[in-house]
Amino acid sequence: MERRIVVKIGSSSLTSPVGGLDREAVHYFATELSNLRASGYEVLLVTSGAVAAGFREIGYAERPKLLHEKQAAAAVGQALLMQAYRESFSSFGIAAAQVLLTRADFHNRKRMGNASMAVEELLKQGAVPIINENDTVSVDELKFGDNDTLSALVANLIKADRLLILTDTDGLYTKDPRYHADAERFAVVDEITDQIYALAGGAGTAVGTGGMRSKLDAAKIAVRGGIAVFIGKSQRSGEMLEAVSGKGRGTYFNTKLSALSRKKQWLGFLSTPLGSLTVDSGAEKALLHGGRSLLPVGVRSLQGQFRSGDVVEVLNPGGEVLGRGIVNYDQEQLSEIYGLPTTEAARKIGIPHPPEVIHRDEWISLKA
C-alpha cells in the first residue's frame, strides 16, 4: 500500500481571484491532509501562494511583474501562508514545519542529502513538512514557473509513493473543456508522449503562474523516478483520500519504473548539458533497451564545447533527446575518434583500452 504522499497545491487554490489568502481554503486543505495522516499516510505538502498571498498586503493593486516586487510580496506572503497553515494544522494537534528550498539546493548533492535528512526527521517527529520555493531569493522560480517541478523533485528526493498535483482543473482533456463541450478527460495516461504534450495549454489563471504543460513536465520527472502522479481537483470533503485511492476527479499517470538514486536525479533533471552527441539507431537501441555503454562507433556527430566529466545530451538520428550522460572525452579528442570501432579508436589516440564515451553507470534515459 502507498504510504508516502507528496501533495502540491497551487496559488489559484489558496487565494481569491484578485489576490489575498483564502483562509477557508487553507483550512480545507489542512483538514484533508490531516485525514490522510489519520488514514496512515505520511504527508508532505508543497505549496505555492506566497506572492499571491502577499501582494495586496504589501500595497500592490495587482500581482506585480517586476522581480524585486515579486520578491517583496513573497516575503510578506510566505509569513501569512505559514501562519494560516500553522493555525489550521494545530487544531488537529499537528505541527506545521516550514522548509524553503531553491533549485541550487538540488544542484548540490550534499545539500540534497541534508534537505532529505531534515524532512525525514520532521516526518519521524509527526510534523507536516510544508515546502515552498524560497521566492524572496530565487530568480528561476519567479521567472519560469510555479512549484510543479519542485513537487516532483521533492517526491523523488524522499522516494514518495504518489504525487498529487491539485489544481482548478479536473485533469487532462482532449480539448480545453472551458471552450469545447465535447472535450473528454483522460482517466489514465500510461506514457507522456508528444501527442499528450500537444494537448497542454499555457498558464491557466491570473494569480498562478503554471499551466497544464508545467504539470506534465512535473509528472514526467516523477514517473521517471517511479512515482505515480495524479493531476486534478480536491474541493470537497474526502476528495484527497479519493485521489490517493484511485477514485479522484482527475487524471492518473502510471509508471512501471523504479526510484532514482540522487545521482541519477541530478544527472537527469538538475545538471546542465554542455554539449550533445547524436548516435545511430544501433547505439540508441543499446542505450535504451540493452543496458549498454555508449562506444565511439555509435556516435555520428557532436555539438558544443565540453570536457571529460561534463554532462552531455544524447540524441537519436531524428534529433529526439534520449537521455543524458557524463562524457569521458574532451570534445577535441572525441571529434577524432567518433564513428570508429574500439580497436581503431585505440590506435588513433594511443590508448590500449579507451574508455566508453558514456559508461552505462553515468547515463540516464529520459525517453519513455
144-171, pLDDT tens digit by residue?
Answer: 356 899 999 999 999 999 999 998 889 9
Quick one: pLDDT at residue 141?
Answer: 44
DSSP collapsed to 3 states, the chain: CCCEEEEEECHHHHECCCCCECHHHHHHHHHHHHHHHHCCCEEEEEECCHHHHHHHHHCCCCCCCCHHHHHHHHHHHHHHHHHHHHHHHHCCCCCEEEEEECHHHHHCHHHHHHHHHHHHHHHHCCCEEEEEECCCCCHHHHHHCCCHHHHHHHHHHCCCCEEEEECCCCCCECCCCCCCCCCCECCEECCCCHHHHHCCCCECCCCCCCEHHHHHHHHHHHHHCCCEEEEEECCCCCHHHHHHCCCCEEEEECCCCCCCCHHHHHHHHHCCCCEEEEECHHHHHHHHHCCCCECHHHEEEEEECCCCCCEEEEECCCCCEEEEEECCCCHHHHHHHCCCCHHHHHHHHCCCCCCCCECHHHEEECCC
Quick one: pLDDT at residue 139?
Answer: 58
Domains of the chain (ranges, CATH numbers)? 4-263 (3.40.1160.10), 272-365 (2.30.130.10)
pLDDT higher than threshold 80 for residue 210: no
pLDDT higher than threshold 70 for residue 188: yes
Percent of the chain predicted with pLDDT > 70: 93
The predicted-structure confidence for 229-257, as pLDDT tens digits, reads as follows 999 999 999 999 999 999 999 999 999 88
pTM of structure = 0.85
Quick one: pLDDT at residue 103?
Answer: 77
pLDDT higher than threshold 90 for residue 109: no
Quick one: pLDDT at residue 135?
Answer: 66
- Banded model confidence at residue 138, pLDDT cuts 50, 70, 90: low
